Amino acid sequence: MSRGALGKNNWALFLMLLAGIMLGGFIGNAAAGVSGLSWLNYGQSFGFASPIVLDLGILVITFGLSIKITIASIIGVLIAIIIYRLI
């Protein structure tokens, strides 16, 4: 297998995982108000509590990262992996 084809497959997997995380997060937020499906939005958030600011005088850069992992996003990742393996 050529190196280019391997890189393409890795990018496809990355994009599938990203889509699964985003779709799962969206479904988790939508299901938060539904009594029978509210467990899909259960999860943990981690990251920086406040952004880190780097002031260089003429340039100010602000770094921030916050990730919320929910049950729905984990299910989305698993579905993305299954779809990727089928393709």
From first to last of its 87 residues, the chain has per-residue pLDDT tens of 555 555 568 888 899 999 999 999 899 899 888 888 889 889 999 998 888 999 999 999 999 998 889 999 999 999 999 998 888
Q: Using CA atoms, how far apart are residues 59 and 35, in angstroms rounded to an integer? A: 48
Q: Using CA atoms, how far apart are residues 22 and 17, in angstroms rounded to an integer? A: 9
Q: Using CA atoms, how far apart are residues 21 and 18, in angstroms rounded to an integer? A: 5
* Domain range list for the chain: 13-86
* pTM > 0.75: yes or no: no
